[in-house]
Structure 1
């Protein structure tokens, strides 16, 4: 228990001030590349492994295989069944976490220095010799199916899936990465094994490490852990052809409050105007109670408890999304106000006062992301996947501050598309019907 408590405390302890974070570029003797923040103040290390591709690697008729596979990695490996594996992990006071998204599969590991070798041995067994026992498959499958059934009655999930089908056509983004009830029910152990072999390969691997470990020790760890991975995995799909026509799509659903997902074309993360778009979105709908949408839709008119917008630059497509919910007899007015605000920002832009306030918030909030070893390891892996420079943490706020009012208003005029704004409404909205 004491060792577990020590590990838990270590996870919560932040490194020195974010501006002082020094990232080292490490290459193992076997050629595995990683970024490292070395800190020996506590005997603890966080390791983040991320494999590009994610649930988008599923075959169309095997949707949900990667997601189910990722949930099975902690259900036994080597000669350990699920219970034996869980006891081994607990005895090391270590933590392993697994996550599958549209674009990646992540493995997050945290361990004490005194148990590093044993923890890496266990993680290696996890990666190289997963069991995929049938009883574990059936148990985790049941959990996934329960979640999918719940999503069928959630207006937000219904809106998201309806929009995805319209926007992404036959691309994997068009369907739920968790699969459908039919596809998950039909998955076999062979399908799970195929998903496993497609995901874990060196050609899509990104690594971040933070804590009590030297570059030489990290290099040896990476070779021990990852050197025997295959060189290549399953091909990653091509870019999605996003089709957002504008208008309204109504999905009839018996609920006293309608949910609306609104969307338009987005902007890629590597676009030179991304920071201007990022600040623009903060002003429009990403800035909480200070955003224009919250002021106009909630504060002035009382049409909703919350309305938000956010940029979504995925690996294979970029969209600009937002969400709002309101009573069935008021959702039409909320949508009208959102369209008006979209048009106002596109034609009139934002003010210098709004820009200054957004910059102050965004630069001040940025250091709060670096609140622990595991969080920093994850951020570094995300930076690598987005092809950001190794000094990005130190220079990011400079990029925010460099954006001018002219930049933001030019991007507002170019990016915002009031006529192309698509609303997917789930509920029984009064005065709304499908227009596209």
Structure 2
């Protein structure tokens, strides 16, 4: 029990915001590369693994196989079934999490130094040698089918899927990550074994670790943990050809409140104009109550409880997106206000005061993200997948502060395309063209 309490403390510990994080690149004898931040103040390690590819690698006719496979990684390995595996992890006061996205499989591990070897052995079993028992397959399959049935009744999920189909056409991104009722019901154990071999591969893995471990110890751990993974045999999908016809696409659904998503083309992370675009999104609608869209749509007109925009950065598609919900008889007005603000920003840009306020917020909030070993490990693995330099944490705020008002207004004219702004609305909207 004491060890269990210790790991909870380690998981939740808040460390002082770090102005600079000392990241060491580590290469194991077996050729695995990782980034490490040593922190010996607590006997605890946070480890992050990312496998590039994700659900977009589902084979034709097998949609949902990758999602179901990842859901089964914690359902037993070797001579341990799902219950035995869960008990073993709990007995070590460790924590493992498995997630999947369109472009990646994410595996997170947290363990105490004293239990590191045993925890790594358990994690290796789940990653490299999962059992895929028939009983577990049927149990997890039913859980996935339940989620799919629920999504089919959710206006927001319906809107998200309709937008994906409109944007991506025949690209894998157009298909639901969870699969469909028919595709998931038809999946076999062999399909899951194939998905495992296609996704969890040695040459597409990104690794970060933070905590009570040295570079030499991490190098040994990586070869123990990941040795035996196959090389990639299925290519990543190519770029998506985006369909952005503009206008409004309506999906009729009986609900008192419509959900609207919108999209236009986005920007590559490596583009020199990324930071001005990032700041521009914050000013327009990036999750702040001070944004223009919140002011115009919510505060002035009371058309919604919330409206926001964001830069959507998929590996094979870059989008600028947003979301708003409003009563059926008011959603048309909300959409018109959003279009007006989008066009106004494109034509007039932003003010010096808006730029300074955005810089102050972004630079002040950034160090708060480094509030635990787990948070830092998660940020570092994301940096690797986005091809960011190893000193990005130390230089990020300087890049924000370097953006000028001239940059902002030039990028607003370059990137904001009101005529391509495409809305998908799910509900029974009134007065919408």
Deviation at 1:233?
Answer: 4.0
Aligned to 1:2: 2
Aligned to 2:118: 118
Deviations 1:50-86 (A, max 9, x none): 1000000001310010011000000011110111111
Partner Cα separation in structure 2 for residue 223 and residue 48 of structure 1: 15
Aligned to 1:13: 13
The 8 Å contact of residues 203 and 233 in structure 1, kept in 2 or not, is answered as: no
Aligned to 2:182: 182
Deviation at 1:234?
Answer: 2.2
Partner Cα separation in structure 1 for residue 200 and residue 331 of structure 2: 45
Aligned to 1:173: 173
Root mean square deviation of aligned Cα: 0.9
The 8 Å contact of residues 16 and 371 in structure 2, kept in 1 or not, is answered as: no
1:431 aligns with 2:393: no
Aligned to 1:70: 70
1:346 aligns with 2:321: no
The 8 Å contact of residues 267 and 319 in structure 1, kept in 2 or not, is answered as: yes
Partner Cα separation in structure 1 for residue 110 and residue 150 of structure 2: 32
Q: How many residues align?
A: 433
Partner Cα separation in structure 2 for residue 405 and residue 60 of structure 1: 48
Aligned to 2:267: 267
Aligned to 1:244: 244
Partner Cα separation in structure 2 for residue 197 and residue 231 of structure 1: 9
Deviations 1:126-175 (A, max 9, x none): 12210000110111111111111111111111111101101101111111
Aligned to 1:46: 46
Partner Cα separation in structure 2 for residue 424 and residue 38 of structure 1: 47
Alignment CA distance shift 1:281-1:60 (3 Å):
same
Partner Cα separation in structure 1 for residue 180 and residue 287 of structure 2: 34
Secondary structure at the counterpart of residue 375 of structure 2: helix
Partner Cα separation in structure 2 for residue 27 and residue 164 of structure 1: 38
1:139 aligns with 2:124: no
Deviation at 1:30?
Answer: 1.6
The 8 Å contact of residues 20 and 393 in structure 2, kept in 1 or not, is answered as: no
Secondary structure at the counterpart of residue 193 of structure 2: helix
Partner Cα separation in structure 2 for residue 127 and residue 257 of structure 1: 43
1:298 aligns with 2:291: no
Runs of 4+ in 1 over 6 A off after TM superposition: none
The 8 Å contact of residues 45 and 212 in structure 1, kept in 2 or not, is answered as: yes
Aligned to 2:210: 210
Partner Cα separation in structure 1 for residue 311 and residue 133 of structure 2: 40
State TM-score, norm by structure 1: 0.98
Deviations 1:74-122 (A, max 9, x none): 0011110111111111111000100000000011000000000000111
The 8 Å contact of residues 258 and 327 in structure 1, kept in 2 or not, is answered as: yes
Partner Cα separation in structure 2 for residue 70 and residue 50 of structure 1: 12
Q: After superposition, where does 1:273-422 map in structure 2 within 5 Å? A: 273-422=273-422
1:226 aligns with 2:226: yes
Aligned to 2:152: 152
Partner Cα separation in structure 2 for residue 203 and residue 151 of structure 1: 34
Deviations 1:239-287 (A, max 9, x none): 1111111000011000011110011111111111111000000000014
The 8 Å contact of residues 304 and 326 in structure 2, kept in 1 or not, is answered as: yes
The 8 Å contact of residues 345 and 412 in structure 2, kept in 1 or not, is answered as: yes
Partner Cα separation in structure 2 for residue 86 and residue 391 of structure 1: 38
Secondary structure at the counterpart of residue 197 of structure 2: helix
Partner Cα separation in structure 1 for residue 353 and residue 295 of structure 2: 16
State TM-score, norm by structure 2: 0.99
Partner Cα separation in structure 2 for residue 408 and residue 273 of structure 1: 9
Deviations 1:402-424 (A, max 9, x none): 01111111111111111110110
Which deviates more, 35-44 or 54-63? Answer: 54-63
